[in-house]
Structure 1
Amino acid sequence: MPTTKQKVLLVEDAFSLAVVYKDWLEKSGFECQHVDTGKAALAALDDGKFQAMVLDLNLPDANGIEILDHVAEQKIPVTVVVVTGSGSIKTAVDAMRAGAYDFIVKPAAEERIITTVRNACEREQLHEAIAEIRNDFSDGNFHGFIGKSPVMLGVFKMIQNVARSKATTFITGESGTGKEVCAEAIHKCSPRAGKPFVALNCAAIPRDLIESEIFGHVKGAFTGATGDREGAAAAADGGTLFLDEICEMDIDLQTKLLRFLQTGTVQRVGSDVVMPVDVRVVCATNKDPHEEVEQGRFREDLYYRLHVLPIHLPPLRERDADVLEIAQVFVESFAQEEGKTFGGFSVEAEDKLLAHGWPGNVRELQNVIRNAIVLNDGDVVDEEMIRLGSPARSSPVHSSPPQSAGPASDPAGSVAAVSTAVDGDRNKMVRVMLGRTFAELERDVVMATFDYCGGSVPKASKVLKMSPSTLYRKREEWTRDDP
């Protein structure tokens, strides 16, 4: 039952049915307003805010489709459930095309009505939440992030929420997704924004120096310590300490980091003095932290101490048209930097960018666009200017002239073999040995198609009728597995 009453507009000209429907809805916790004409329905929609509308298509003064059209044209924020005695497929299709969320045929059971209306209200609430988030980030630029995809709007909202807390935040995501940008955004949105933001990459510092980098050292603490040094934790006092690639930290140092998080104090290497510091810790990794814990490479108690407020950054391939928005920003920036006149992309170039799987994420996209700007001239970046790296190595493909299926020899014994054409071209054959696994056959056919298409993912996608991103991931996986 809804915790707060959601408003439902019931448009039904049959009085007896309206009484029953209204009673069902109100018993289930909804606030229900009933009208019996199309004119009254339009007036009610103009006067009040409803999460759902239960609409009879056959009204005395209007067709329900006309009301659906009005809702769509005026962009009225309400989810419509159609209820009618006409159960034809055409009526249902017309209603859904006009914007109806669901279609119920009379006589309708109580459970069906209530469940459908509840789902409609939840859908409308979700739309309202997304609209609010879109309004908050309408310019598509959020503290260094670019994009308006729903998944990124959710990340922006999460950043705003966690920024108000002092609790540690654990950022996960593939390399190049912007984990440091995320950490800086958290800092900038927090009450600590005016204080230092100190970033430390745990993978880039030698094991025997990282303790000193984090906690500092005193003169003579070790060979080469010619003076006192303030560590990153003390330097970030009052602000935020960002520990990138946290899973690369030595297991022995993890114990000292845990003590630091629990006590809020630091002790320099070679010193007996314990100093209090006030820092908010944000960490990140491109690995699976659960697997690192299971493999014994990361302390479980430290993981739970850090993994208080998790944020996962989606890979670029899951961000829809954000790819083009980010690429456009890069084009304008690099064109100005290089003194070029590029201002955008051709349609073919945009298609190529959208089809690519971007295993290197935003960092890879940045490099690709910079390469195109530096090495070319023009007003528009076209398809040929976008270089997405060398084609993956193909698995061996046996080419042979057209032949009928027949027996073939095999080290394991006599098995049948068939030859199949690639993209209808009988001059490009793939010899498929029967008796092999489906995964092996799939690899042969897909990689042969890549070879035939010159390594082009979009072309191979058209030939095989498979998603470009799926093909790209398969090719990367198979290439990585090759000896």
Structure 2
Amino acid sequence: MAKPNVLIIEDSPSLALGYAAQLEEAGYLVTLAATLAEAREALSSGTFAAALLDLQLPDGDGLTLLEARTEDAPAFIVITSDGSLSRAIAAMRLGAFDFLVKPVSGTRLLSTIRSAVDQVQAAHKQAPKGLPKDDERFHGFIGRSLAMQQVYRTIEQVANSRAAVFVTGESGTGKEVTAEALHAASRRSSRAFVAINCGAIPENLLESELFGHVKGAFTGAVENRIGAAKAADGGTLFLDEICEMELKLQVKLLRFLQTGLIQQVGSSRAEPVDVRIVCATNRDPFREISEGRFREDLFYRLNVIPLHLPALRERGGDILLLAERLAASIAREEGRGEMELSNASRAQILAHAWPGNVRELQNSLRRAIVTALGNEIEIDIPHGTAGRTARAALATFPSPQGMPVPADMQGLAPVNLSGLEGLTLAEVERMVIEAAIERQNGNITQAAKSLAVNPSTIYRKLEKWNS
């Protein structure tokens, strides 16, 4: 078997020769390039499985190589200093396989190169599997709204990257489905997908669940346990409710992300593990950081690829589409045969705020199907909750006379919206958000709560408007 070729793009001769010596000893063929021009010439005349890339080069920015990369380009591994982590993250978003922080240990360097080469070789051995193109279904998701199409595109774009993905969204929006979709769409799909809920496991056991333990490490450790990280070796590790993780363990997780090495509880030996990290939370991570419950350096390590899931009420016609598909599936599970939603149920589904999102919709449908006397589904939504989000939104609009619409109005009484004529939906949305922020004296978290959206949604929109 031919030795894999690795291109080292580094202007420091001592560092370049040091990397080359380690790689050649491990059985790789190595080519050196000290400038962008030399790197471009090497890439145009040769084929490489992987490339180590220093971003600070004498004749330009190493990111330009990533921006111009083609389908047959090597897996780029960025090497950066501590002060350039933001640029390394930018490289990951442009498609870099991974990034290493100087000084790089030999073990970390070799394990990262090996993972990159394995991925490239696997891609050459098999044709791309292709992703479902049905607009209504995508790796466990159901929906064709613009908001969900954007989610699907992001998953397609980053599935084969090693970059960590940080998924945010309200409870019940499908964060674990997202992690599973990222795994299923990647070249890691033949290996394990391991999920661990950081909020459901007691603090004193979470480290053992995550990194494993050796027999006798603590009371109750009657046998060796490999842990979730080792079980996911070669695959994907999903850390749900990551903001629930205790601070001391956050330090150890950060160490694992930096080195690629795990150390079982009670063991003195560290071993390399190759996993793709996907994590999720329904909390506002910026608030958790500001209040000292989540480490900022860990957040930036995990938030390489941010992915926000829209709430069900933000998905337009997806609500009825989901309801119909879920109702058919639940009816089959319950042995009820063919059933359909009544017109009254459809109206209620469209009017309800669904604070529990897809999970709440699913539970409401199951309850209605199990208790139904015929083949028509009459959904029962607790009195006073339908339309709550609509009322909250309407309350932020000024009336034509400049008076606020009462927030405690009963039901969905007609509201005079003539003052909004001629405005686009985007302009109306901005008015709603800015009015809510002003009412809350600039408090984004409280403004988001009043609108029943995630604070990160508002932060994203503010960043877009101010750019």
Matches of 2:373 and 2:338 in 1, distance apart?
7
What's the CA shift for 1:296? 1.0
Deviations 1:362-406 (A, max 9, x none): 00000011011000132332xxx21112536xxxxxxxxxxxxxx
Does the CA-based 8 Å contact 1:164-1:190 persist in structure 2? yes
Counterpart mapping for 1:260-299 below 5 A: 260-299=256-295
Counterpart mapping for 1:429-444 below 5 A: 442-444=406-408
Matches of 2:225 and 2:134 in 1, distance apart?
44
Counterpart mapping for 1:67-82 below 5 A: none
Deviations 1:315-352 (A, max 9, x none): 00000011111111111112112222443223332121
Report the equivalent of 2:367. Answer: 371
Report the equivalent of 1:348. Answer: 344
Q: 1:166 to 1:321 in 2, by over 3 A?
A: same
TM-score (norm 1): 0.55
Report the equivalent of 1:304. Answer: 300
Matches of 2:199 and 2:211 in 1, distance apart?
16
Specify which structure has the bigger relative contact order, considering alpha-carbon pairs within 8 angstroms and separated by 6 or more residues.
2
Determine which of 187, 204, 208 is the counterpart of 2:200: 204
Does the CA-based 8 Å contact 1:341-1:378 persist in structure 2? no
Q: Give unmatched runs, 5+ long, in structure 1.
A: 1-134, 393-437, 450-459
Matches of 1:229 and 1:284 in 2, distance apart?
25
Deviations 1:13-62 (A, max 9, x none): xxxxxxxxxxxxxxxxxxxxxxxxxxxxxxxxxxxxxxxxxxxxxxxxxx
Report the equivalent of 2:252. Answer: 256
Determine which of 371, 375, 387 is the counterpart of 2:380: 387
Counterpart mapping for 1:415-426 below 5 A: none
Number of aligned positions between the proteins? 280
Matched, 1:215 2:211: yes
What's the CA shift for 1:294? 1.0
Does the CA-based 8 Å contact 1:144-1:185 persist in structure 2? yes
Report the equivalent of 2:137. Answer: 141
Matches of 1:286 and 1:173 in 2, distance apart?
5
Q: 1:146 to 1:173 in 2, by over 3 A?
A: same
Determine which of 188, 192, 203 is the counterpart of 2:188: 192
Report the equivalent of 1:224. Answer: 220
Does the CA-based 8 Å contact 2:132-2:139 persist in structure 1? no
TM-score (norm 2): 0.56
1:289 counterpart letter in structure 2 = P
What's the CA shift for 1:145? 0.3
Report the equivalent of 2:151. Answer: 155
Does the CA-based 8 Å contact 1:244-1:283 persist in structure 2? yes
Matches of 1:143 and 1:155 in 2, distance apart?
12
Q: Secondary structure at the match of 1:224?
A: coil
Q: Secondary structure at the match of 1:242?
A: strand
Matches of 2:266 and 2:132 in 1, distance apart?
49
Determine which of 319, 328, 333 is the counterpart of 2:329: 333
Report the equivalent of 2:413. Answer: 462
What's the CA shift for 1:477? 6.0
Report the equivalent of 2:309. Answer: 313
Matches of 2:264 and 2:364 in 1, distance apart?
44
Q: Secondary structure at the match of 2:406?
A: helix
What's the CA shift for 1:463? 4.6
Matches of 2:269 and 2:168 in 1, distance apart?
35
Matches of 2:332 and 2:326 in 1, distance apart?
10
Matches of 1:227 and 1:196 in 2, distance apart?
22
Matches of 1:276 and 1:240 in 2, distance apart?
15
Matches of 1:225 and 1:173 in 2, distance apart?
36
Percent identity over paired residues: 54
Q: Secondary structure at the match of 1:226?
A: coil
2:413 counterpart letter in structure 1 = K
Q: Secondary structure at the match of 1:462?
A: coil
Report the equivalent of 2:236. Answer: 240
Matches of 2:261 and 2:162 in 1, distance apart?
16
Q: Secondary structure at the match of 1:170?
A: strand
Report the equivalent of 1:58. Answer: none
Matches of 1:137 and 1:370 in 2, distance apart?
29
* Rg larger for: 1
What RMSD in Å do the two structures reach over aligned CA positions? 2.7
Q: Secondary structure at the match of 2:237?
A: strand
Q: 1:478 to 1:238 in 2, by over 3 A?
A: closer
Matches of 1:242 and 1:323 in 2, distance apart?
27
Q: Secondary structure at the match of 1:217?
A: coil
Matches of 1:351 and 1:232 in 2, distance apart?
44
Does the CA-based 8 Å contact 1:137-1:153 persist in structure 2? no
Does the CA-based 8 Å contact 1:341-1:377 persist in structure 2? no
Does the CA-based 8 Å contact 1:342-1:373 persist in structure 2? no
Does the CA-based 8 Å contact 2:312-2:319 persist in structure 1? yes
Does the CA-based 8 Å contact 2:348-2:381 persist in structure 1? no
Does the CA-based 8 Å contact 2:339-2:375 persist in structure 1? yes
Does the CA-based 8 Å contact 1:164-1:191 persist in structure 2? yes
1:387 counterpart letter in structure 2 = D
1:367 counterpart letter in structure 2 = N
Determine which of 313, 318, 323 is the counterpart of 2:319: 323
2:196 counterpart letter in structure 1 = L
1:235 counterpart letter in structure 2 = A
Does the CA-based 8 Å contact 1:218-1:225 persist in structure 2? yes
What's the CA shift for 1:443? 4.5
Q: Secondary structure at the match of 1:442?
A: coil
Q: Secondary structure at the match of 1:282?
A: strand
Matches of 1:308 and 1:294 in 2, distance apart?
19
What's the CA shift for 1:291? 1.1
What's the CA shift for 1:354? 0.8
2:187 counterpart letter in structure 1 = P
Does the CA-based 8 Å contact 2:320-2:349 persist in structure 1? yes
Matches of 1:260 and 1:216 in 2, distance apart?
13
Matches of 1:373 and 1:465 in 2, distance apart?
38
Matches of 2:164 and 2:334 in 1, distance apart?
41
Q: Secondary structure at the match of 2:320?
A: helix
Q: 1:136 to 1:275 in 2, by over 3 A?
A: closer
Does the CA-based 8 Å contact 2:140-2:177 persist in structure 1? yes
Q: Secondary structure at the match of 2:254?
A: helix
